Amino acid sequence: MVKKVRLAVFASGIGTNFQALHDAILQRQLNAEIVRLVVDKSTAGALNLAKLFGIPATFIKYSDYDTKSLAEQVILEQLVEDDVHGILLAGYMRILTPKLIDAYPGRIVNLHPAMLPQFPGRHSILDAYEAGVGKTGVTVHFVDSGVDTGTIIDQQSVPRFPEDTLLDLETRIHNVEHVLYPNTLEQLLNKGVFLQ
């Protein structure tokens, strides 16, 4: 029997991509399970979803630690205890340190709401909107020590129409995210990326 891949999802917000990943694993019967949610905000809506799904959750208050690396050490200890094989960042608004990256080399994946290398960073949708580009997009990439600089796994473009409000563009991007991320996860699972 093929070993089931054990994944942790990191989120900071309401958790729509967490839900999309969870649903895809169940509906497509992917050989994976989400065994831990990690959040950095006690108000993250993703916590409500974790409770609904029966997935254990960890809230890390970074300000309780002298350094980000010390906070990540606590996260890492939990992931080791959970026997986690890979990490999926789903709207996690923090840059990871080498503490976590080195523990999961080539097994941490991020979803970014722009066509990297264009518009890296935390305000990418707003940046693309204000730049007046005709199209932006969504990128799934591996995480390295830079800011949205890791190897690109997959991308999908998203049009930006002249009459768009910022909310129109955000909604269109999020709709693409909810399809692209699960599809990319399925590709990665089929390639055995998380079990290397």
Active site residues: 112
* Number of helices followed by number of strands (H, E) in the chain: 6, 7
Distance CA 10, CA 110 (A): 10
Nearest to 39 by CA among 79, 78, 11, 70: 11
Distance CA 39, CA 53 (A): 15
Rounded to whole angstroms, the Cα distance separating 40 from 31 reads 28
Give the Å distances, CA to CA, from 5 to 72, 74, 86, 121, 195.
22, 22, 8, 29, 7
